[in-house]
Structure 1
């Protein structure tokens, strides 16, 4: 989870720095600069959303794995208790 937060934070920071540097160094009119900012912002949003989707997929997989482990453990405990009762 910490790695995911670091990845998302780094992605956002890198994208923001890249957009800011690009805008500052590009000699463009106001309209062009606004279009560039909009395009950079949309790309950054898409990158962040993709990263979040990937992180959610990993979390879902981990959650399902833990649920399966709990279900197997519960089933084993019930079977063990059932065997003890039969004795």
Structure 2
């Protein structure tokens, strides 16, 4: 494992120390977990962004898609727990 030095402002260092102690962890392990969680969240966010861009490119290329108003109603129904019927894909460009 490589070593990296983090220069923390005193107030942040104190907050980390306090939370780590209350969690029964060392400051080091607390910070490692925090960094790992942030990295995982950022990777997930970028994955969603890349998937969205790929789907948009595919939609523009194929000229088909789902009307947003229909999709919104479908999603509202799903969130409400009803048996929402998925909207149909439509050609919007020849």
- TM-score of the superposition, structure 2-length normalised? 0.42
Greater helix share, structure number = 1
Whose Rg is larger?
1
Q: Which has the higher contact order (CA 8 A, sep 6+)?
A: 1
- TM-score of the superposition, structure 1-length normalised? 0.45
Greater strand share, structure number = 2
